[in-house]
Amino acid sequence: MADKTLSILCFGAHPDDCDFRFGGAAMLYRHLGHRVTFVSMTNGDTGHFSIGGGPLARRRRDEALASARIADVEYIVMDIHNGELVPTPDLRKEVIRIMREVHADLVLCHRANDYHPDHRAVGTVVQDAAYTVTVPNVAPLTPHLPRSPVVGSFYDAFRLPNPYVPHVAIDTDEVFERKIDMACCHESQVFEWMPYNSGTLDQVPASKEARREWLAAQHRKRFAAVADSAREVLVALYGEERGRQIRTAETVSISEYGRGLSRDRYRELFPFLPELASGG
């Protein structure tokens, strides 16, 4: 384990967002003894076609906690209605409080340009908190951080108003099967709501084993596409031979709104990376 125990804080809009976008990397951090905290900023209480409100919110919280046990991470589910997340000053103070309480070194979230209003709100409120987390008289009952954390964005494929730029790409091959186990915990989403919403509910297998393989096939394709989109970054960080062979990946785009991170310091916050394969 590194001399310093890192605190990695991920803000997602819903109780599965962090799992899908950074679950593999979270397990790599935990393997090295670092702290990882996932936050769902809504309770997910509308994400279904036949159940909603309190029963769905409690179900989704329990699914998130089951996923957290697999990854060995802390998981906070905030009790805000799905679809109603707004980057208000009060919400910003709550984000600041969480950043301070976990002494975050790296904060990850959605970008502020995204198809979902909750995702956009998360991106905006974290961006707005990135500097003010250091201001003593903002949320003054929680001691301020001496410096801003590094802030980054989860992968997305959106191109407007500007395309996603991966600065760090993380090999998740060794933990990918456990990441599938995490995803399977979110039954209300991966086997019910998302297939219903995409018109493929009739394709969901009946047995637990077949469902897992059905979902794994989708995720292998999804995260192979992420790896391919960041292939040159993988090569730069892992070397030519390994970088070309990595099958699944997660990526981070370092935001200019938090503390900067030069490429020669990537390994300080991403200690599972090998020594940089090339200068830059």
Mean pLDDT of 176-189: 98
**Whole-number average pLDDT of the chain:** 95
Q: Is the pLDDT of residue 280 over 90?
A: no
Q: Binning pLDDT at 50, 70 and 90, where does residue 277 land?
A: low
Portion of the chain with pLDDT greater than 90, in percent: 93
The average pLDDT across 215-226 equals 98
> In the prediction, which pLDDT does 120 show?
97
Identify the pLDDT of residue 264. Answer: 84
**CB crowding 146-164: b at 16 or more within 10 Å, else e:** eebbbbbbbbbeeeeeeeb
As a whole number of Å, the CA-based R_g of the chain is: 18
14 within 8 A of 120, measured Cβ to Cβ: no
Residue ranges of domains in the chain = 7-169+251-269
pLDDT for 276: 67
Quick one: pLDDT at residue 252?
98
Among candidate residues 159, 187, 133, the one with its CA nearest the CA of residue 19: 187
Question: Does the structure show a pLDDT above 50 at 1?
Answer: no
> How many helices (DSSP H) and strands (DSSP E) are in the chain?
11, 7
| pLDDT, tens digit (0-9, with 9 covering 90-100), for 66-87 | 999 999 999 999 999 999 999 9
190 DSSP assignment: I
Long-range contacts of 190-196, Cβ-Cβ distance < 8 Å, separation of 24 or more = 190/16, 190/215, 191/215, 192/48, 192/49, 193/47, 193/48, 193/49, 196/49
pTM, 2 dp: 0.95
**CATH superfamily to which 7-169+251-269 belongs:** LmbE-like (3.40.50.10320)
Task: Say how far apart CA 19 and CA 155 lie, in whole Å.
Answer: 12
For residue 3, the model assigns a pLDDT of 74
